[in-house]
Amino acid sequence: MEDQFSQPMQRARAAVRALHRLETLTRTSSARRSRPSDGHPDGPGTMPPVDIEAGPDVSAERASSWNPGQVGHHGLLASTRALNASQRRRNLSGASNTSRLPGEVGAATPDNGAAVPQDGAAPEGHEAQLAWQRMALPVISALHFQRAVARRTQSSTGEATRTAPPVPGHAPGLLPARSDARVLLHLFTSNILNVLLLAIPFGWAAHFAHWPAIAVFVLNLLGLVPLALALGELTEDLAIRFGEVVGGLLNATFGNVVELILSIAALTKGLFTVVAMSLLGSVLSNLLLVLGCCFLFGGTRFKEQSFNMMVNKACCSLLFMACIALTIPTAAAYMYSGTVGAKPLANLSHATAIILAFIYLCYLLFTLKTHSAAAAVPAEGEVPETPALSLGAALLMLGGITVVVAVCSEFLTGALEEVSQQSGLGQAFLGLIVLPIAGNACEHITAVFVAWKNKMDLAIGVALGSSIQISTFVLPLVVLVGWIIGTPFYLNFDPFVTIVLTLSVIHAYFVSSDGNSNWLMGVQLIGTYLLIALLYLFVPNFAPNTNHA
């Protein structure tokens, strides 16, 4: 009898030792996710389900053959569920007098008809089975509890707002009473750059206290950096809820609200050149600088990155169409200046603005409705993420941060004219280069952030989507607002700027036409942007000859 029990007991002890090893390994691999395999449905690191009814030999062999070096929480749950179910079946069968432990009076006869001894003698293997169960069940239960606690308290893996949801696949509701405050606190304390938030009140104080223009400019510019990072986190959280394409459009929309407000404010003051150069500079900044940085920084981490070709073609074709729409009034004004007066040019600009706005609405319908499935296909093999913030909290924070960004941008641009006089930089350079970079700080940091994490569809949506919104939404809206308030703004730009914009769109399309990107493509786009910037830097008096009423 001892020989029959010795080998199963040794295997049971080996299984318990393996479980003790698992306790140590789970401390260092609690965030590791197991991938499905052919051997076990729960994953390569999943412990095989323990079946007590199968006998000690089968259970011990499964436990001893399990590799604890690769651990997934599904294995612990499956093993515990199997042990608990077996124990419940045994208790239920004992209560119904169909099965009793050895030594009990009135033990039932098994199904095969063999009588169970009544003198306390155990059947073969039964004592080893009970001993293995008594040793293994507490260990697995303790590890299961430890795993559950670790999942609720573990820190994030790089995303300031990403936490493991209590129920997989379920996002927080509209305004849950708990967890939002904790996530927001982590959002504003997880990055050392958030120290720059202290520059915001000083920047506002510098504006109202009439400090030097350089101080107002620098302080408000520094304050935009952590706000842009927070905006990127919130946008990504919303992108998980609504999809990457919608997330990119949300980011482009909230980022361009600042530029829209600044453009209208400058328009009411009669600063037509600043409005024209800043809007075209925003398109160039997103198209060349932001997209180039996405390819460059993403390519330094990944050898090659891929993205949706259909979305890229749609964006580039829309941008090229916008270039044609801007070239037609400009060419007509310069080539037929004797016959095209202010009235025909105004009518042409208004009609072009309406057509561009209609095309932008069609672009939204195409991206979000008719071709939404093709535009946002999740990568195979990835576990879907769930938002950490509730929808109401995310929208409130997004709106609040946008207001603060708008105020900082207003103070920043208000000091640009004096900074231009003190530094010797031309207004064309400040309008085409400096102002768009400051206004696109949110899109820039967000796009590079998601490209670094190999989410190129979202990065493309931020960079090209923002360029599309500027050229087909913000620019036409400024024209229509000027028409309404009686301050006409015509689509009559400097021919050199329109040529540069058209060539930049063509270059960006050829660089990314195959749906793949690398760091060399990013260098090319950034180099093109630097060539344009050098012209306005070395020729400070170079300014566009923009005709208006």
Show the tokens assigned to 10: 């040794």
Judgement on whether residues 16 and 83 belong to the same structural domain of the protein: yes
Tens digit of pLDDT for each residue in 201-241?
A: 999 999 999 888 888 988 987 887 788 777 777 777 777 77
Handedness of CA 27, 31, 35, 40 (dihedral sign): positive
169 in a structural domain:
no
pLDDT in tens, 132-142: 555 555 444 44
Question: Could you tell me if 131 and 252 lie in one domain?
Answer: no
Average predicted confidence (pLDDT) for the chain: 70
The reported pLDDT for the residue numbered 168 is 39
- Whether residue 220 contacts residue 436, with contact meaning beta carbons closer than 8 Å, is answered with no
Torsion on CA atoms 178, 182, 187, 193, rounded to nearest 10 = 160
Could you tell me if 140 and 205 lie in one domain?
Answer: no
**Distance (Å, rounded) from C-alpha 409 to C-alpha 400?**
14
Work out the number of other CB atoms within 10 angstroms of the CB of residue 317.
Answer: 13
What is the pLDDT, as a whole number, of residue 440? 72
Closest of 327, 533, 546 to residue 436, by C-alpha: 533
- Is 30 a domain residue? yes
Q: What is the pTM of this model?
A: 0.59
416 in the same domain as 301: yes
Q: 112-121, 256-265, 383-392, 462-471: lowest mean pLDDT where?
A: 112-121
- pLDDT tens, 473-499? 889 989 998 888 888 888 888 888 889
Buried b vs exposed e over 7-36: b needs ≥16 C-beta within 10 Å? ebbebbeebbebbeebeeebeebbeeebee
| Residue 498, token pair as written in the block | 């329109």
Phi–psi pair at 43, nearest 5 degrees: 130, 165
Contact indicator for 260, 478 with CB cutoff of 8 Å? yes
- Determine the 3-state secondary structure of 39 from DSSP: coil
Residue-number span of the structural domain to which 358 is assigned: 191-376+385-538
Per-residue pLDDT, 352 = 92
Q: Are residues 369 and 431 in the same domain?
A: yes
- Helices 213-242 + 199-208 axis angle, to 10: 130
130 shares its domain with 209? no
pLDDT tens track for 359-407 = 988 887 777 777 666 555 444 445 556 777 788 888 888 888 878 877 8
| Residue carrying the six token digits 């000091």 | 415
Whether 450 and 390 share a structural domain: yes
User: pLDDT value at position 296?
Assistant: 92
Q: In this predicted structure, what is the pLDDT of residue 262?
A: 75
Give the Cα separation of 303 and 166 in Å (integer).
36
Residue 454: which of 238, 298, 244 has the closest Cα? 298
Q: Is the pLDDT of residue 62 over 50?
A: no
13-17, 73-77, 167-171, 513-517: range with lowest mean pLDDT: 73-77
Q: Is 486 exposed, middle or buried (0-12, 13-18, 19+ CB in 10 A)?
A: exposed
Mean pLDDT of 43-69: 43
CB 426 within 8 A of CB 541: yes
* 69-114 residue pLDDT tens: 333 334 433 444 454 555 555 555 554 444 444 444 444 444 444 4
Give the domain-ending residue among 114, 145, 176. Answer: 145
Q: Give the C-alpha distances (Å, rounded to integers) separating 403 from 196, 261, 348, 443.
A: 17, 11, 34, 16
Q: Hey, what are 353's tokens?
A: 């603005």
Q: Are residues 136 and 197 in the same domain?
A: no
pLDDT in tens, 413-458: 778 778 878 877 777 788 888 878 876 776 777 788 888 888 888 8
Confidence of residue 129 (pLDDT cuts 50, 70, 90): low
Q: Cα angle at 365 between 361 and 370, to 5 degrees? A: 160
Considering the domain architecture, whether residues 421 and 343 belong to the same structural domain is answered as yes
The answer to which of 193-202, 344-353, 423-432 has the lowest mean pLDDT is: 423-432
Quick one: what percent of the chain has pLDDT higher than 90? 10
How confident is the model at residue 48, as a pLDDT? 46
What 3-state class would DSSP assign to 178? coil
Burial 372-388 (b: 16+ CB within 10 A, else e): eeebbeeeeeeeebbbb
Domain presence at residue 504: yes
The total number of structural domains that make up the chain: 2
**pLDDT at 197 > cutoff 60:** yes
Look at residues 113, 145, 177 and tell me which one is the last residue of a structural domain: 145
Confidence band of 502 (pLDDT split at 50, 70, 90): very high
Domain contains 151:
no
305 three-class SS: strand
Give the domain CATH number at 477. 1.20.1420.30
Region of poorest pLDDT, from 82-86, 158-162, 312-316, 412-416 = 158-162
Number of H helices, E strands in the chain: 22, 2
